[in-house]
Chain A
Amino acid sequence: MRWFAFFSLILVQCSLSAAHSGEEYHEELKLRPLPDGKLAARFAFTTLLKGAIPRAPTNLTVNDESQHYTLFPLAMGQLLREYAITELHLTLNAGKWDYDRWGYPEEPGVGSGAELWTWMGDGAPTSIDERWKAIQNAHAGLFCASLGSMDTQRTTSPTRAFPPTGDLPRLPAPHVHRLRHATLPAEHVCTENLTPFLKLLPCPAHAGIAALLAPHKVFDADWHGLGVHVRWRAGKGVELVMTVQAVFDPVRMSAERKRDWSFHSVFDRTIPRSCPVATTSLIHVELPPPGDGSYTLNPAPSTANQAVATFSISKDLPELDVTMKWGEESRFAYPLDASSTPLSDFSVQRTLKGSSQTHGQLSIVIRNNRPTELSVLYLETMPWHVEFYLHTLRITGPDGQQCNDLFSNMTYTPPVPHAQPAMLQAMLTLPPLTTLRLTMDARKSFLRYTEHPPDAQRGWDLPPAVFVTQSASGGASKRVYTPALLVDLATPDFSMPYNVIIMSCTLIALIFGSLFNILTRRFVVVKVDGNVPKVQ
């Protein structure tokens, strides 16, 4: 009998793990000293569910197989299965990523606030939009963020700017995969998001690279953001990458105004021991270009080449505290010509002009920093609170001439009041080393008094525009986010509902009553001297 129980247990185990044939966990930290003395750090915790395939939406009617994971977070796994998500990206960022000074981030999703986008197959008994709503609510609960307010008024489907980063499994015809994308530019990221985030890791906070994530240091950084990315790689399996990015300022933190940094100074932690379940555990330090002073790196890296030094955290390694010192520098000198040598291919400024609460003008100044022609995809998603007049779209070159032909291949979804945001996707051709100015008139809407947020006078945060570089050589395209905008909408008087109802209704009743009073009564001639009136 005991043997039977043992065998059946093994059988159950085998059938449970039949869906995937193993799990792998990789952790990686990439540190990049920046020319302006800052230090960009990017943590990536990758869990690979080998051989797994996203649940087919048509199978949502039948009971799913049981979930059993050793490294993959169960909460995420359940969500992915429950709503048949093929690909999911959630980012929570704070601050403005300075592309000109910092170059392109390792993780492209750096728009401020919350951004969530998923690719899902249709053909399920519930609609894509119902599942999208459920996904928001589930992730809002999982990461303590107010993602639930990403309603249809904020959801778009910008397929050209957000293609799947992994592969999409083939669905039986006529079903296809659909994109849902929403941003909440006013969402703040803080320690209540990081705590549940760390709980999903196999080695949270005590071992491995994740030990460096001290909330009070991460959220003190000039720029910081969390990211969760799920994608399916054909032939490999479902991959979950959880990232933390931050741009620290060692100069601000050091008393001597030096850019020297160490794990201890930047993170206030060191790596005490390795994560025992991690297949690889690597720290890459990008080395400054040769002209940038002489520096020392402690301890000696496991491997190093001209550009990158790599530390591999092995099980027998004692406590690790990587230190980088510029010994000859007594004080960091900020590069004064930082803006003249931008690290990005093009620089964008986006502003909403005009002081009126009814009309404004969207202005985008975009400069190509390279001596070659660039082609970028321009994506503008705008809540219906601001409506564009596309017929006023003008592109002017440096000497004032109009060149609307640089704007091509446009797709546009007009906004629907109280329901749907506008979405504009178009190709922009940027001539070499040229500044273009794109302007478009905008109309600001008037909202019902119940649609205003409690702090109505603060205004509305508008989502960032996204530019995607289109490389002719077929290399990876890069997404560039502009900072979010704030729009000031006209507000009604919030204390007035009763007064307005009373006064408007009084006026209507007055006119109605008087009119029918005149219409229904007869005219009579009355003798003034007190005798009986004579009816006509």
Chain B
Amino acid sequence: MAFELAFAVLLRLVLVLSPLRRLLKDDSQLSSPLTSYSRLREGIYLFREGINPYSGGTFRHSPLFLALFSTVIPDSEAFAAILWACVDVLGAWALVRIWRARGRVGTSKRDSLIAALYLLNPYIFLPSLSLSTSTFDTTLQLVSLMFAAQGQASASLLTLAFTAHLSLPSLLLLPPTVLLLLADPYSHLASPRPFNGKISKGLPLFAEFSAYFCSLVLASTVVSDGSGWIINSWGAGLLLPDLTPNPGLWWYFFTEMFDHFRPFFLMIFSVHLVIYVAPLCIKFQHDPLYAAFLLLGVLGIFKPYPTLSDPGLFLSLISLFPETYPHLRYPIVTTLLHLHAFLLLPLFHHLWIATGTGNANFFYASTLVFGIANGGALLDCVWAGLRVAMGEEREGYVIVQE
């Protein structure tokens, strides 16, 4: 595994120092307005010049990034490249640790494969090359799940509080994380049973999370000298002030939305994200890690400002659940759809924005394909996760849904 890690880090460093870096830097599919490195640099610059970076719409990162990058971390791109590579490796390490906790194994042969699937996944790899801070969100999410799988409640809730602070929709991961802490991370997909942990024990965990979250909010307010950051960073996810194209579904919908319907649909799109939490947690109460995995898939499709790393996290997590593979219904179709979208997204973006030979609909169509691909993967995983319990088909019988 050490070899894979070293290779992935080296590859990142070579590519990040190559001219590719400049091409990817401001690519809107790899870094959204909430995660762009250029905007982070701008915010740090304004902060150092004594101008409140949250007084305008350019800087939408969390004040924690502002504090971190204006004090501890040197403001240099070469250092940032190393830092981003290290954060990615940390994510891969956390993923491997989740696998080990789930399978109740020590080192296994599959470790390298899981780490490689994460580190060489282009959806994870490219945003990291463009120094998008979504890399931090992804890694923190994985670390939070890792701690939860290992049963370390405080560490898990604290990292989840950080994740939710950096990217507000991750708040939806709180219920499955708490369930995971109350239950165990082992695979129960094949033998569903009612939740056997005590739900009442969850309340202190919720309270602990709230305490962490509130202290982060407080720290941010102190750092940025006011609460202006809330509307600028969290508010952006709810009000969508910046309509820069991304692979998600929100931007073109709200570019083309009639003005008097805009608040209504913003509310619908935000509330729609919440709808999935309870059903998935109830249905997969026997395996909360799987519920968390599926919710990450939902976020990857329906998040307000997704980058490629959000669906990338979901796809990399598939490697944790090999027991579902035999029951996937159309993995080839989903893979081909992903391939289709992955090639068309940059191509149509370039045709529209740079050469002017295509128009916005080209890129919009490819985001729809990307949405179908992600939706297909999610639905297939839900199906397979439930289907595992039915076991093998016997001759003369078929297993269908009623």
| In contact, A501 and B56 (Cβ under 8 angstroms) | no
Interface size classification for chain A: 35 or more
Total interface residues in chain B, CB < 8 Å: 66
Question: Which chain A residues (222-269) contact chain B, with CB distance < 8 Å?
Answer: none
Interface-lining segment among B147-155, B166-174, B374-382: B374-382
| In contact, A515 and B364 (Cβ under 8 angstroms) | no
Q: How far apart are the CA atoms of A416 and B53 in the complex, in Å?
A: 11
Per-residue B-contact encoding for A408-420, CB less than 8 Å = 1, 0 else: 0010111111101
| In contact, B243 and A447 (Cβ under 8 angstroms) | yes
With A446-B255, A492-B256, A516-B279: A524-B399 Cβ-Cβ less than 8 Å: yes
- A418's partner among B26, B241, B302 (CB-CB below 8 A) is B241
Q: How far apart are the CA atoms of A128 and B400 in the complex, in Å?
A: 70
Q: How far is the CB of A530 from chain B (nearest CB, A)?
A: 11
Q: Which residue of B lies closest to A391 (CB)?
A: B45
Question: Which chain B residues (12-52) contact chain A, with CB distance < 8 Å?
Answer: 26, 28, 38, 41-42, 44-46, 49, 51
B353 interface residue (CB < 8 Å to A): yes
B306 interface residue (CB < 8 Å to A): no
Q: How far is the CB of B278 from chain A (nearest CB, A)?
A: 11
Per-residue B-contact encoding for A489-518, CB less than 8 Å = 1, 0 else: 011110011001101100110111011111
Q: How far is the CB of B137 from chain A (nearest CB, A)?
A: 22
| In contact, A508 and B245 (Cβ under 8 angstroms) | no
For the A-B complex, the count of residue pairs with Cβ-Cβ distances under 8 Å equals 176
- B375's partner among A445, A449, A496, A510 (CB-CB below 8 A) is A510
- B26's partner among A359, A390, A449, A497 (CB-CB below 8 A) is A359
B244 interface residue (CB < 8 Å to A): yes
With A390-B46, A504-B253: A522-B402 Cβ-Cβ less than 8 Å: yes
Q: How far apart are the CA atoms of A447 and B58 in the complex, in Å?
A: 15
Q: How far is the CB of A444 from chain B (nearest CB, A)?
A: 9
| In contact, A523 and B44 (Cβ under 8 angstroms) | no
Interface-lining segment among A270-278, A350-358, A466-474: A350-358
| In contact, A523 and B389 (Cβ under 8 angstroms) | yes
Name A's interface SS.
Answer: mixed
- A500's partner among B26, B252, B354 (CB-CB below 8 A) is B252
Q: How far is the CB of B190 from chain A (nearest CB, A)?
A: 13
A337 interface residue (CB < 8 Å to B): no
B78 interface residue (CB < 8 Å to A): no
Q: How far apart are the CA atoms of A508 and B382 in the complex, in Å?
A: 16
A1 interface residue (CB < 8 Å to B): no
Q: How far apart are the CA atoms of A391 and B42 in the complex, in Å?
A: 5
B57 interface residue (CB < 8 Å to A): yes
Question: Which chain A residues (307-364) contact chain B, with CB distance < 8 Å?
Answer: 355-359
B252 — which chain A residues lie within 8 A by C-beta? 492, 500, 504
With A490-B352, A523-B390: A500-B401 Cβ-Cβ less than 8 Å: no
- B401's partner among A389, A524, A529 (CB-CB below 8 A) is A524
Q: How far is the CB of B263 from chain A (nearest CB, A)?
A: 13
With A417-B241, A504-B253: A390-B42 Cβ-Cβ less than 8 Å: yes
Q: How far is the CB of A408 from chain B (nearest CB, A)?
A: 12
With A389-B42, A422-B56, A515-B382: A497-B401 Cβ-Cβ less than 8 Å: no
The interface centre, meaning the residue of B28, B53, B243, B255 with most chain A CB atoms within 10 A of its CB, is: B255
B215 interface residue (CB < 8 Å to A): no
B145 interface residue (CB < 8 Å to A): no
With A417-B57, A527-B397: A357-B253 Cβ-Cβ less than 8 Å: no
With A492-B255, A528-B398: A519-B45 Cβ-Cβ less than 8 Å: no
Per-residue B-contact encoding for A453-493, CB less than 8 Å = 1, 0 else: 00000000000000000000000000000000000001111
A525 interface residue (CB < 8 Å to B): yes
Q: Which residue of A lies closest to B250 (CB)?
A: A504
Q: Which residue of A lies closest to B38 (CB)?
A: A389
- B398's partner among A449, A490, A526 (CB-CB below 8 A) is A526
B111 interface residue (CB < 8 Å to A): no
Q: How far apart are the CA atoms of A387 and B396 in the complex, in Å?
A: 66
Q: How far is the CB of A248 from chain B (nearest CB, A)?
A: 40
Q: Which residues of B contact A (CB under 8 A)?
A: 26, 28, 38, 41-42, 44-46, 49, 51, 53, 55-59, 241-245, 249, 251-259, 272, 275-276, 279-280, 283, 301-302, 352-354, 356, 359-361, 364, 368, 371-372, 375, 378-379, 382-383, 386-387, 389-390, 396-402
6 interchain residue pairs of minimum CB distance: A414-B56, A391-B45, A511-B375, A521-B401, A446-B243, A500-B256
Q: What are 13 A-B contacts with C-beta separation under 8 Å?
A: A358-B28, A358-B244, A359-B26, A387-B58, A389-B38, A390-B42, A412-B51, A414-B56, A415-B56, A415-B57, A500-B255, A508-B302, A511-B379
